[in-house]
Amino acid sequence: MVPEGIEKNYFFQHTECDYFPCHEGIPKERFNCMLCYCPLYTLGEDCGGNYTYTSKGAKNCKACNIPHNGDSGVRLVRSRFADLRKLAAKKQPS
């Protein structure tokens, strides 16, 4: 069941997942698994989420709820698509 006020096409729950819900602070009925892997991760410090870095330099997004709270993650990714497109662009030889 899709919670009221959330775009149906951008909401998915995988309640059978061993890790569901994988982040704290979101009511289970609003927890969205659509962006299990956040496309904004690759933006590093410019992702806009709540993250830390481990002592080994890896980005840790465990405290970030943006991709999983209703359809807010999908809206954020869509707003940052131009930045993601630049990262994915094929580099032309010099």
DSSP assignment of 20-62: SS-SSSS-GGGB--TTSS-GGGGGGGGS-S--EE-TTS-EE-T
This model's pTM is above 0.95: no
CB-based burial of residue 80 (10 Å sphere; 0-12 exposed, 13-18 middle, 19+ buried)?
A: middle
Name residue 53's amino acid.
Y
Show pLDDT as tens, one digit a residue, over the chain (94 residues): 788 888 778 889 999 999 999 888 899 999 999 888 888 998 988 998 899 999 999 999 988 988 888 888 888 888 999 999 998 898 777 7
The domain limits of the chain are: 8-88
| C-alpha distances out from residue 66 to 41, 51, 69, 88, Å | 12, 11, 6, 22
